[in-house]
Amino acid sequence: MAMVDQAPLLQVENLSFRYRDRPDYAIREITFNIKPGEVLLLAGPSGCGKTTLARCINGLIPRSYKGEMSGRVLLRGQDTAGMSLAQISQNVGTVLQDPERQILGTKVINEVAFGLENLGLPREEILARADAAMEHLGISGLHDRDTFNLSGGEKQKVALAGVLAMEPGLLLLDEPLASLDPASGLEALALIRNLADDGMAILIIEHRVEDVLKVSPDWGLFMMGGEIQYDGSAAGLAEAVDYREVKLPAQIVLERAAVDPSPVRLEPLLGKAKADSEPLVQFDHVSFSYEQGSEVLHDISLAINPGDVIAILGPNGAGKTTLVKQAIGLLKPKSGEVLVGGRDTHDLSVAEIASTLGYVFQSPSHMLFAPSVSAELAFGPNNLGHPPEEIKKEVQEAIDIMNLSGMEEDPPLALSFGQQKRVSIGAVLAMRSKILVMDEPTAGQDYKNYMDFMDSILLLPSFDAILFITHDIDLAVVYANRVIVIDHGRVVGDGRPQDVLSDYEILESSRLVPTSLLDVNLEMFDRTQCFMRAEALAHFPSNI
């Protein structure tokens, strides 16, 4: 929908930037432009310089982050170097990856009005513009709600409304899909398309290329190592980049992988279930509610058996994390019981359970503290009283699996978010618990990184069962041998992936959206008899 005769809204010319305390340039010689009504997709692995580029455009660089900058950023033909942040912010609206980190207001209306208040506009105009922005995004009903009680999808819409109310010409979206369940993601994408059709220029930074292609972006950029590697049509982007680096539609991967050598087939070691053995964890009619408020879990009964690789799917706020916290004893059921290794969690301390069940929290920043990565990884095994030689081995193995070698002596807190996430998973891996539980293990990770460590984790012989909470259906398709769908605190689906994920009614009611990989797998299921990744399907049946 690009209008060829229009002047570009944003021009980036030969832009380079180096942070003051870093030796290397974060971005080098970047040049591109966006016209009103255009959608530009910027993809690339973590650490490629996407965030730095975004900061140069919205003015945080060089105003809040200092360093060495060369080249120019022009908004409507004017160099931003001479503008104040306030001037830029009226032209460029930024929605950060995590709306949690952006929302300031206590109530939704305060949040949406915040920018307009800062501009010192009259009250009537603020209210009119805030209401219009909320109306446009279909969130007028949230007007007086507390922002911290909103769901992930609602939070993002509120953050977006706060930016749209300022009527920017350019919208900068940093990984807008990262914290959303699939249905909310689709809604967000539809909104983005509408905004572009209304004439707004949009820059989407996202490594889930497959999803963003659904809004048919006008252009695609692919960045790596701070430089632009591809600049062309969005459709061409899918052809030009490595399908192992970014997530592409399954059909494209299928075609392209067919000409590459067949991937090594991974056989999860723990997949060999001992059918008659005792369950590792048993939920028996578990109900739970927080101190104030209604019931979050209703009468849940299920067992985690040796050999299970379980994906827990469900919408934002369905009770997935609450359910899993019962298993480690951080929460205890209000009625019913949870048995770990045959013992009631009411009688066990969290530390006792930790030797059986290792739990990786969603946010790494809530647990990292040690002066070095090695010390961080040794913390858990140390607490559990493992002997020193043993700990050394466990730490080394975790470093290898999580691709952390070379960073052993680095302070975890100085690493990037993606690296921190890997350290946090490594820290639990090193404990050698029998069951590994991960809450959103792939959040904030680029595609290649998370596929690599998921592969390695599944090949570990030391686990009896693995369980992960995710929004990503493909992760369930590729790795799980059992899928549990949670919705409104109840188990609405539990079984083999092919049985649960082929039931589109369950998927729809739980705000899950079938992916291209799921579709291809279901099509080929008569022949394959099991789900597999696109690269493997490309070589089916020769690699079996």
Partner 1 sequence: MLVSWRYRERKSLIQAFDPSAWIIFYACFIVSTMFFWDLRVLFFFLAIALVVIFTSGIKWREMYRAWLFICGFVVFFSLLTFLTGRGGMEVYEQEHTITTLRAPFTLFKWQPTLDITVERALFALSQLVRVFSLASMTILIPYSINPAHYGITFHRLGLPDKIAYAMDLTMRFIPTFGRDFRLTMDAQRARGYEIEKLSGGIISQVRKLAPLIVPVTIHAIAGSEDIIDAMDLRGFGIGRRTWLVQLQYRMRDYVLMGLAALILIGSVIASMFGFGKFWVPEFLLHMVGG
Q: Does 140 bind partner 1 (CB under 8 A)?
A: no
Q: Residue 19 interacts with partner 1 (CB under 8 A)?
A: no
**Which member of 2, 13, 29, 60 binds partner 1 (CB under 8 A)?**
60
Cα distances (Å, whole numbers) of residue 383 to 108, 329, 352: 43, 17, 10
With beta carbons less than 8 A apart as the criterion, state whether 447 and 247 touch: yes
Q: Closest separation between CB of residue 431 and partner 1, Å?
A: 7
Q: How far is the CB of 249 from partner 1 (least distance, A)?
A: 33
- Told to check if 384 binds partner 1 by CB under 8 A, we report yes
User: Should residue 122 be labelled a site residue for partner 1 when binding is judged by CB under 8 A?
Assistant: yes
Between 120 and 406, whose beta carbon lies closer to partner 1?
Answer: 120
DSSP-derived letter for residue 347 is G
Report whether the peptide linkage leading into residue 387 is cis, meaning its omega lies within 30 degrees of zero.
no
Note the helical H segments in 182-328. Answer: 182-197, 209-212, 234-240, 250-258, 320-327
| CA 241 to each of CA 114, 251, 447, 482: distance values in angstroms, whole numbers, following the listed order | 40, 15, 13, 32
343 near partner 1 (CB under 8 A):
no
CB of 232 to partner 1, least distance (A): 30
Q: Does residue 355 belong to the site contacting partner 1 (CB under 8 A)?
A: yes
For partner 1, the closer CB: 80 or 516: 80
The verdict on 103 binding partner 1 (CB under 8 A) reads yes
Q: Is the Cβ of residue 366 or residue 527 nearer to partner 1 in the bound state? A: 366
- Separation between Cα atoms, residue 16 and residue 27, nearest integer Å: 5
Q: How many helices (H) and strands (E) does the chain have?
A: 21, 20
Least distance from partner 1 to the Cβ atom of residue 93, Å: 8
Residue partners of 466: CB distance under 8 A and separation at least 6: 270, 308, 309, 310, 435, 436, 437, 438, 457, 458
The reply to whether 89 sits near partner 1 by the rule CB under 8 A is yes
d(CA 217, CA 5): 18
Distance CA 279, CA 423 (A): 30
Nearest distance from C-beta of residue 484 to partner 1, angstroms: 20
Which of 102, 156, 184, 510: binder of partner 1 (CB under 8 A)? 102
Instruction: Give the separation between CA 406 and CA 417, rounded to whole angstroms.
Output: 17
Q: How far apart are CA 397 and CA 390, in angstroms?
A: 11
- Determine, following the binding rule CB under 8 A, whether residue 166 of this chain makes contact with partner 1: yes
Interface with partner 1 by CB under 8 A: which range of 3-11, 179-187, 426-434, 451-459?
A: 426-434
**131 membership: H or E segment, kind and range:** helix 123-137
Pick from 60, 40, 396, 392: nearest CA to 216: 40
466 binds partner 1 (CB under 8 A): no
Which of 66, 76, 123, 265 lies at the binding interface for partner 1 (CB under 8 A)?
Answer: 123
Q: CB of residue 4 vs partner 1: minimum separation in angstroms? A: 31
Binding status of residue 105 toward partner 1 by CB under 8 A: yes
Task: Closer to partner 1 by CB, 103 or 532: give it.
Answer: 103
Residue 392 backbone dihedrals phi, psi, to 5 degrees: -55, -45
Nearer to partner 1, 368 or 473 (CB): 368
Per CB under 8 A, does 20 bind partner 1?
no
Using omega within 30 degrees of 0 as the cis cutoff, is the peptide bond preceding 62 cis? yes
Number of Cβ atoms within 10 Å of the Cβ of 104: 11
Which residue in 16, 51, 52, 58 binds partner 1 (CB under 8 A)?
58
Whether the ω angle into residue 249 lies within 30 degrees of 0, i.e. cis, is: no
| Max CA pair span of the chain | 72
- Is residue 369 part of the contact set for partner 1 (CB under 8 A)? yes
351 binds partner 1 (CB under 8 A): yes
Alpha-carbon span 77 to 44, nearest angstrom: 27
Question: Per CB under 8 A, which region of 31-39, 95-103, 267-275, 479-487 contacts partner 1?
Answer: 95-103
87 or 543: CB nearest partner 1: 87
**Identity of the residue, 2 or 121, whose beta carbon is nearer to partner 1 in the bound complex:** 121
Distance, in Å, from the CA atom of 44 to the CA atom of 205, rounded to the nearest integer, reads: 8
79 DSSP β-pair partners: 74
Contact between 148 and partner 1 (CB under 8 A)?
yes
- The region of 239-247, 274-282, 376-384, 485-493 touching partner 1 under the rule CB under 8 A is 376-384
Binding partner 1 (rule: CB under 8 A), the pick from 8, 67, 107, 284 is: 107
Copy the structure tokens of residue 129: 């513009």
Per-residue binding letters, 289-318, with partner 1 (x by CB under 8 A): ---x--------------------------
Distance, CA of 110 to CA of 143 (rounded, Å): 9
Q: What residues are paired with 230 via a beta bridge? A: 222
201/37 Cα distance (integer angstroms): 5
- Count of residues engaged in binding partner 1, rule: CB under 8 A: 67
Rounded least distance, CB 306 to partner 1, Å: 21
């430089």: which residue's tokens? 227
- Binding of partner 1 by 266 (CB under 8 A): no
| Distance between first and last Cα of the chain | 45
Q: Which one of 309-317, 379-387, 456-464, 490-498 is the stretch in contact with partner 1 (CB under 8 A)?
A: 379-387
Contact positions vs partner 1 (CB under 8 A): 58-60, 63-64, 84-86, 89-90, 94, 96, 100-107, 109-110, 113-123, 126-127, 146-148, 162-163, 166, 292, 325, 328, 330, 349-351, 354-355, 358-359, 361, 363, 365-369, 379-380, 383-384, 413, 427-428, 431
